[in-house]
Structure 1
Amino acid sequence: MAGAVAPTAAELLTFVRQTAADPQLIASLPLDPDGRTWVRLDGPAGSEAWLIGWPPGTGTGWHDHAESIGAFATATGELTEHSLAARLPASGWRTLELREGVDRQRQLAAGQGRAFGQHHVHEVLNVSATDHAVSVHAYYPPLPLIRRFSRSGAVLRLEQVERAEEWQ
């Protein structure tokens, strides 16, 4: 839409928190005991949004959202986020050695959320052995790609680049 103002990370966070507080929407997500489930939502100001169900013991693996900013909030259960407090190069590398002190971890219980900027590298996990979690995520601009990484100690390796058409 011409003339539309891009949402800020704070506005995306407000949206995911409000959406995560909608019990009817959260209850409408079909939950699978073996794999994550998701439904695409309309986000604010042209952003991309998702409602995601997390069976016990599932996670995303290490990834980023390229040039997009984002936010997510837990609606039910609890999610754990491991992230890196380091800005990675946007391109031109396959393997990086991370310096000490870049690891961050946070638990996000129902009603809690967080926003992040471009090139935010993280993994999100439902570490519960028994309970599903449900969360709401929003990104702007809509995700053109996701870079997936493997991690061994201080070494982060780019493994795969997924384009939007692969998960739409």
Structure 2
Amino acid sequence: MSASAPASAPAYIPESVPAGGPTATELLDFALRTASDPEIVASLPLDPEGRTWIRLDGPGGSEAWLIGWPPGTGTGWHDHAESLGAFATARGRLTERSLAVRLPSEGWRSLELAPGVDRSRTLAAGGGRAFGRHHVHEVLNDSPEEHAVSVHAYYPPLPLIRRYSRSGPVLHLEHVERPADWQ
């Protein structure tokens, strides 16, 4: 990995992570249980063109979301900063593409990724996964015709999301979103 040009986005200085919060495993357990609840899943209005979401009460002060994914939609490359996370597919199939490398949290605009850091997995209904801090990934509904629904949980609640673009092996930091941008 090689870095170029300092980031112009403001540096994120993590606050201390509250003690006693849920672990990634506990977040995954919550996401899997919630994704298997047909009443909760049915409560999400689905839009044929754009993602939809409902905020949920996550365990132990975590942030949780029920998200609908129309065919062909995705998140783009991003991370969740200092938050642990988990997600589970409730309906359809989702593909997660991720990087098996920890990126520096600040001081760069563009990084060339080493070969072999790309990972991909598909999670059908009932499948889920947990991840640690600074996990860079994108989540996609690759289906040309089927809606997907998933449950996501983060702890501590998301302080920010860093958005990236990718050109071959080069990852570019595009912008930083704060909670006010998505709530």
TM-score interval, normalised by the smaller of the two chains: over 0.9
Residue 79 (1) aligns with residue 79 (2)? no
Aligned to 1:52: 67
Counterpart selection for 1:115 from 130, 141, 159: 130
Aligned AA for 2:131? Answer: F
Aligned AA for 1:167? Answer: W
Aligned-pair identity in percent equals 76
Residue 135 (1) aligns with residue 150 (2)? yes
How far apart, CA to CA, are the structure 2 residues paired with 1:31 and 1:4?
A: 36
Deviation readout 1:45-102 (Å, 9 max, x if unpaired): 0000000000000000000000001000000000000000000001111100000000
Counterpart selection for 1:95 from 110, 131, 136: 110
Map 1:7-86 to 2 at 5 A: 7-86=22-101
How far apart, CA to CA, are the structure 1 residues paired with 2:21 and 2:42?
A: 30
How far apart, CA to CA, are the structure 2 residues paired with 1:25 and 1:11?
A: 19
Query: How many residues are aligned here?
Result: 166
Residue 156 (1) aligns with residue 153 (2)? no
TM-score by length of 1: 0.97
Preserved CA contact (<8 Å) 1:48 1:138: yes
Aligned AA for 2:61? Answer: G
Deviation readout 1:141-163 (Å, 9 max, x if unpaired): 00010000000010000001000
> Secondary structure at 1:13's aligned position in 2?
helix
Unaligned runs of 5+ in 1: none
Tell me how far 1:4 sits from its aligned partner: 6.5
> Secondary structure at 2:50's aligned position in 1?
coil
Aligned AA for 2:120? Answer: Q
Aligned AA for 2:88? Answer: A
TM-score by length of 2: 0.90
Cα–Cα, structure 1 residues 163 and 26, in superposed 2: closer, same or farther, change >3 Å? same
Deviating runs (4+, > 4 A) in structure 1?
A: none
